[in-house]
Amino acid sequence: MPSLAVQSAAAPRNGAEKLCKTLSSTVAGTLGKPESYVLVTFQKVDAMCFGGSTEPAAFVYLSSLGSIDPETNKATSAAVAGVLEEELGVPKDRYYINFFDSERSNMGYNGATFQK
């Protein structure tokens, strides 16, 4: 259910697989969702400019069925920031994360949607 997409021009210090696995467990924990449903992608882009600078930066998009609320978003943002800093060298003030609370009918899985 939770889908996390990360884009950055910075290369993961310990490889993309490690970054994705770390973010998967991090997001599962902050959202209170089973990790078996978490999808994480990392895309290295050719260039990224944040605030007029090409120093390490990242753009993150998180979609989930529920668990998107002001308090959870703060906790998730803080946890993801720590991983981005550790694994990508992206300072906490050089990334944006967009949170999106998906409707069950708008998320597909296993040839259907999550709508009951």
Instruction: Tell me which residues are annotated as active site.
Output: 2
CB-based contact 98:39 (threshold 8 Å):
no
Rounded CA-CA distance 44/13 in Å is 12
Predicted confidence (pLDDT) per residue in 94-115, tens digit: 999 999 998 888 888 888 888 8
Domain at 3-113, CATH homologous superfamily: Macrophage Migration Inhibitory Factor (3.30.429.10)
Question: 23 near 4, Cβ under 8 Å?
Answer: yes
Q: Note whether 60 and 98 are within 8 A (CB).
A: yes
Question: Helix, strand, coil: what percent of the chain each, to 5?
Answer: 35, 30, 35
- Rounded to two decimals, what is the model's pTM? 0.93
Q: For the chain, which residues make up each domain, given as ranges?
A: 3-113
pLDDT tens profile 9-52: 999 999 999 999 999 999 999 999 999 999 999 999 999 999 99
d(CA 80, CA 72): 12
